[in-house]
A and B are shown apart, each in its own frame.
Chain A
């Protein structure tokens, strides 16, 4: 019987199953970072800045040190200097003089940690913090980026207010000063974003001509909110030292990748770090390689010579736990009479926070170019520093914002041009190997690996019943208004070049090693289904080793930017092909013939003839150990990461060691897309509204695990809906103080905020540029959902009502009162 010898035939892949971590999550036995205990464990608490920007003038910890139960106190001067590092290609990355430190004597936002205390219990640590004698010299500060751009406006840092691009190629970006002119502000008026000088720009095509030839030009300003990640698990960390090695329990989005990050911050060797992270209680981009705060307990544990648990309170998490930056966008968009986007001029200001430059502003330009395929486009953007908490990437960073800013513009263009908004989405949707900005050095554009957005729109519209809903007469009686919206979202959905690693044991089992973080998207397990299929084994034969770097791990991607299912399914397949080849070679060595005479199936490697003679995986594993060399991991491929090599060495002799780097070709950049449809019912008397129906249709290639896939579609749609409907920060600008610190003020969505009816679908066309066909799905639902709801609200209440998200009760009531538009607060996001 001829065997199917394609690279990969989905069998388990694409089916539902119970992941190996679910049971522990339901029984309370899953241990997250804060659930660990160690003998003699101390509790660490943080003293944080009460001011938005200040220098510590005087600090006396002697009284605190003398308090009962206090074992050690850590201050900023005890932190190691940040180390330079090398990129994967070996290039030197200089440690940035502007980067965030774990503790500081010059806090740049209210809530920034200054001192850490370790004591025998929480009460003692708290009492000690209160006994610290500290005084500050206040420094100028700014909360609203536009205030900083005004002539003479304050700077968030003593040496500037914006991130500027490198002066020369090869240099790193730096902080400098940028101010706009009074004329810039006067020209724009109160309701439009001024367009002064920007730090960066790119363009392709002729935008000016594109706009001048357009049948309709819209000039819109929109403000997106600052939204904290607010993982339910704060970033608590336990650290202890044992035999010169640092042990840590953390929540992270990338188990293996957190090790070099910590090594860099602590200026130590990766070999001396053991990291435990079996379970991570939510992350959403906020725990990529854990974060700088994890070094506090590490250093305190060394100083106190005892295990230290940094227990991060919800209030501290709100300060140090990262947030999506607000973007203020001004969009000039020119449409043909058919609704095609001829020219797009996208100008964005990003509320960057005080430290590292965030990617959202630039990514918004890139995703805008892909998602709406403008014939000509210009992007301009500036990251403005503010004295607000450090930002970080949050699900579809920049992608969510650009959908929120541009989705409603497409809908408005449709109404102005008397077109169906769905048709305007469709005519501008990327297709196939769609071009993506920014342009390369030669002026040409990059290309997506594939895009099937038109298919997603068509299928979604049919399931949602878009046309039938559109044909209904508007509700005009009573206080309820109805609106529908459709929008698209996209984001990066895959990287390449990581390593796969597993062992076929002498018992004939497959032990699959992974360095992927387990944050709930289940990709640490889902990608292993590919191994089971490629090896043609039942799932029960597989076990996964994850979450503890004491167990060897291959170099794996961080679970951020929806790259994992793509990157690590490729790596899993690469390792599987390595295993198959080794099995065949072992069979040939054992039973004679050539490797290519053999095939794999039914947990055996057997001769591809009528005899079907062969050996079991178990026997082959035993033979591998005897053969040694590459077969049992005593030799390792040269092209895998050096951390993989260390892991292979540790596994050597345990069985047949399958290890390979993903060297599969890929032509283009990998992106996934979602088309979303929403219906809202708005009560214009109370300002409250409901999302009565919602459909998300994905274009993310082959589905590996439908329940997890649907979970990402639902959960990440809700994240986008939260940005559209209720989540934001608000500040007292005069005092530089955040006022929205608690959940009842920042409003993470509840189960009753979820759409009353939710459906989903997936186009499911495999991506042609990856052998498994799978792309990531975590990111693109956010922007599509956010924009679809904003479009539905505008459909219900009319154009030109909203220039800021989220749209809450006050905005609905203002929109419902004839003649009102502007809310107080100008273009600030933080109101």
Chain B
């Protein structure tokens, strides 16, 4: 499915970091649930709602509150993991809209960042979560 989204549909926001479900860079929401697109057959998601990073911004081009919060905190370094982190966060916040920092860390623990500035990532995602709550 990651290859379908990137290759056939041109949705190159998600990345294929490992292609074996070990890094999270390909995370998308399937019916609101974060999953690794690299480890799912395209045929098995027929009839389901897939949300990728490209679908996150508002229709007027404005940023989603989660993106806005992360932007303001300069959340990511190289940015390769960012789309996966954002989708994982969005999915987690649907189950837990007001997490503590530690809870959110567990929620996004299936995403690797090799720049490894997890401190700023969490700060930025928390800011984004706060903006989402405010709407």
Residues of A within 8 A of B (CB): 16, 18-19, 21-32, 34-35, 37, 122, 230-234, 279-284, 313-314, 519-522, 707-708, 710-712, 714-716, 718-719, 722, 742-744, 748-752, 754, 758
Contacts and interface: CB of A to CB of B under 8 A. Distances in A.
Interface stretch (B42-50, B91-99, B104-112): B104-112
B30 interface: no
B121 A751 contact: yes
B83 interface: yes
B13 A29 contact: yes
Contacts of A25: 76, 79, 82
B17 A233 contact: yes
Contacts of A722: 116
Given A279-B79, A314-B20, A711-B77, A750 B14 contact: no
Given A707-B74, A752-B106, A520 B120 contact: no
Contact of A750 (B54, B72, B112): B112
B117 A715 contact: yes
Contact of B112 (A28, A232, A715, A758): A232
A751 B118 contact: yes
A552 B57 CA distance: 33
A748 B79 CA distance: 17
Interface string B58-84: 000001000100111111111111110
Contacts of B17: 232-234, 314
Contacts of A26: 63, 67, 70-71, 75-76, 79, 82-83, 86
A232 B78 contact: yes
B122 A31 contact: no
Contacts of B57: 27
A27 B74 contact: no
Contact of A711 (B6, B13, B115): B115
Contacts of B120: 707, 710-711, 714
Contacts of B76: 22, 25-26, 520
Contact of A18 (B52, B72, B79): B72
A28 B52 contact: yes
Contacts of A313: 19
A738 to B, nearest CB: 16
A30 B82 CA distance: 11
A232 B114 contact: yes
If over half of B's interface residues share one DSSP class (helix, strand or loop), that class is named, otherwise mixed; here it is: loop
A560 to B, nearest CB: 14
Contact of A27 (B53, B77, B106, B114): B53
A284 B121 CA distance: 18
A714 B19 CA distance: 27
Nearest to A25: B79
Interface of B: 3, 6, 10-20, 22-23, 25, 52-54, 56-57, 63, 67, 70-83, 86, 105-106, 108-109, 111-122
Contacts of A35: 6, 12
CB-based closest 3 A-B pairs: A28-B13, A25-B79, A520-B78
A32 B78 CA distance: 10
Given A232-B23, A714-B117, A748-B114, A16 B78 contact: no
B79 A749 contact: no
Given A23-B63, A314-B20, 8 more contacts: A25-B79, A34-B15, A35-B12, A231-B114, A282-B77, A522-B74, A522-B77, A743-B20
A282 B52 contact: no
Most buried by A among B53, B77, B122: B77
Contacts of A32: 15, 80
Contacts of B114: 230-232, 282, 284, 748
A315 to B, nearest CB: 9
A57 B120 CA distance: 53
A321 to B, nearest CB: 11
